[in-house]
A and B are shown apart, each in its own frame.
Chain A
């Protein structure tokens, strides 16, 4: 019995396990993401007739920093699926490719075939400094170059790595209708 009491005491009377909302986030930041997300949702709804924008993420040789940010986009906090963006498992189902990292020689073929395997028209976003310019691996013997050197790129989202919010804004800026 005492051990159970000890456990209960630890659980209910011990230090707080979950941080308070005010400790890790600010409502203003949330509001920015929510606003951008809502706009994005409206645009995607218009562009794709109510369906969502399907994304295939391609690792072209990144350090995984960008991948961590892409994962964050899908977590409970950002939850981009509610804005009509979703990751898919095959380029056959993709409307858009998110390519990360400088394209290494070993993954050049993978990037190229993924682009070829996706149905046209297919948007390509280069995400991260490596994907945009080659970053710190520029001109390395092991690297083909930025994503541009392998497949056409429609938008670049720089940053090493770009934050989830910056990725969202990059996509939004690219999809937003031009107002002349």
Chain B
């Protein structure tokens, strides 16, 4: 394929996104803002198609034009992420039309739309950037746009979350900047290729420092433990389509940056350096999944699930790096393939779930799972789509996440047999932790779907819920469809992206075994059809009579249902050492004569352990230092002049 087509495609995509930002900033009225969002959708659709074409045809970009340090070209890694980012962004743009119209009173619509486009532009730039300076500039556009988007509704809690996010993301950006400085010798205009050559000659200590800085920088953006505390605050506070973009795509930008640095710039690293990545990845996965199990806020639950999935992806990346260093090239390739596939899968199902959550929260006016319930009866089609997405998030077949975990675990299992004892230990730790996380993820998703969609409505709004409008539900349906398509087409997708070690084009291959997603889906379909047929054939329809479930003569109501809190009680009990959840039951007697007749209120507090352990001390120290420093402000002008003089003398002493 002629690369010129792709170059013009990328240009069209960037120009369209810019145009959408400008139009939505100056446009007034519903029709014009609809036009702006459709422009954005068209631009990102072109971008997605271009990215997909670049993945499939792998053209050689000989003379790619450059734009502010961005090379308008896509190498295979960038192409995957460019296609993914734009595909999700396209669905989000369509969704934004109806979603923002429904919340026009809560947001400054024009600013929100313009910032959304700028946010997408920043992410496109991150993928296209071919030099550290351009990369960081686009990274900042992405971060700052998303900062303003988090506080779009200007509520105090949104402001707090946004500021926390801003601090964390800038600490991360600072670390990335420092890392690039180290690797490029301060020459920030140099391309990544030049940096790779330069980094070859750097001493190990510098490389290790740069590696640690990148791990912190990209890890804090991706929500890796213990830098994840901002994520469950910021993602749920943003408007839902922005949550979808942030959780689905922005985290992948951090992954892209990390992969770009690891694979493209840093020289081959010793295996032991990969262990911190694996450890942080596993810890993120475990804590993300645990908190997702006990969380009662729908969007926060999804945010925790994002931490879990990012943890799994980083575990896969770490395992790939470790395997490369430990001389297991097959596992290295497979783990990388699994990481990319899982990133694609997560982007799809998580953005779908967040958009679906937005549609639900818009009708129910609450994010609390305890006020939902019974939605499957009120909105059956939409609930079906959400079920497919939840199955994807639980990594059950035939969703895409299942395929990536299958590839990863099978290769780890195959490698365990032949590896050295220490490597075996690492692999077994990975294996057991990923299995544990898989179980918790299923738990969390069953809770989410079961409590929100099944049973009876627990609130007045839930009882009157309607099937969401087509503008809100179509993107969710598209994401649910994509989850299945990517799951079924996983072998083809991996073959196209060039991971030939794990697929033969039709099946996933690992260590002598093979899995055909289509056969798997066929088995599921056959079992389902057989159960349905058996039910139809064995039942005596003529004499059957439908009547509600036997309730012992007492009408059932929503207060008898399993709640999200009660459902996760076993997890809270078993992991109370980790979660430090606390339950306060207070009884106030109603009748003075009988202490047993009492009104009881129970408050369940799920504490943010990592915030309290690692962040609260920093906050306290900063406050303490600043209150001490305030004492210097005596208000006496002579004292200030003396201070200036002292500073001047100190500066002279140091510089001379």
Chain A residues within 8 Å of B, Cβ to Cβ: 58, 90-92, 107, 109-111, 113-114, 116-117, 120
Residues of B with C-beta under 8 A to A113 = 550-551, 553
Chain B minimum-CB-distance residue to A89 = B552
CB-based closest 10 A-B pairs: A110-B553, A117-B550, A116-B547, A113-B553, A114-B553, A92-B550, A117-B547, A90-B550, A109-B553, A91-B550
Residues of B with C-beta under 8 A to A111 = 553
Distance in angstroms from A89 CB to nearest chain B CB is 10
B554 touches A110 (CB 8 A): yes
| SS class, residues of chain A in contact with chain B | helix
B545 an interface residue at 8 Å Cβ cutoff?
A: yes
Residues of A with C-beta under 8 A to B554 = 110
Question: 19 A-B residue contacts at CB 8 Å?
Answer: A58-B553, A90-B550, A91-B550, A92-B550, A107-B553, A109-B553, A109-B555, A110-B552, A110-B553, A110-B554, A111-B553, A113-B550, A113-B551, A113-B553, A114-B553, A116-B547, A117-B547, A117-B550, A120-B543
Chain B residues within 8 Å of A, Cβ to Cβ: 543, 545, 547, 550-555
Residues of B with C-beta under 8 A to A116 = 547
Docked CA distance A93–B640 (Å): 92
Distance in angstroms from B548 CB to nearest chain A CB is 8
Distance in angstroms from B460 CB to nearest chain A CB is 23
- Considering residues B547, B550, B555, which has the most beta carbons from chain A within 10 angstroms of its beta carbon? B550
Distance in angstroms from B534 CB to nearest chain A CB is 21
Residues of A with C-beta under 8 A to B551 = 113
Distance in angstroms from A60 CB to nearest chain B CB is 10
Docked CA distance A107–B551 (Å): 13
Distance in angstroms from B629 CB to nearest chain A CB is 72
Distance in angstroms from A88 CB to nearest chain B CB is 12
Distance in angstroms from A120 CB to nearest chain B CB is 7
Docked CA distance A116–B547 (Å): 7
Docked CA distance A150–B391 (Å): 47
Docked CA distance A113–B553 (Å): 6
Docked CA distance A92–B547 (Å): 11
Residues of A with C-beta under 8 A to B543 = 120
Docked CA distance A149–B446 (Å): 45
Residues of B with C-beta under 8 A to A109 = 553, 555
Distance in angstroms from A116 CB to nearest chain B CB is 5
Docked CA distance A91–B545 (Å): 15
Chain A minimum-CB-distance residue to B550 = A117
Chain B minimum-CB-distance residue to A113 = B553
Docked CA distance A158–B180 (Å): 96
Docked CA distance A136–B648 (Å): 107
Docked CA distance A114–B547 (Å): 11
Docked CA distance A91–B550 (Å): 8
- Considering residues A90, A111, A116, A117, which has the most beta carbons from chain B within 10 angstroms of its beta carbon? A117
Residues of B with C-beta under 8 A to A114 = 553
Docked CA distance A156–B194 (Å): 99
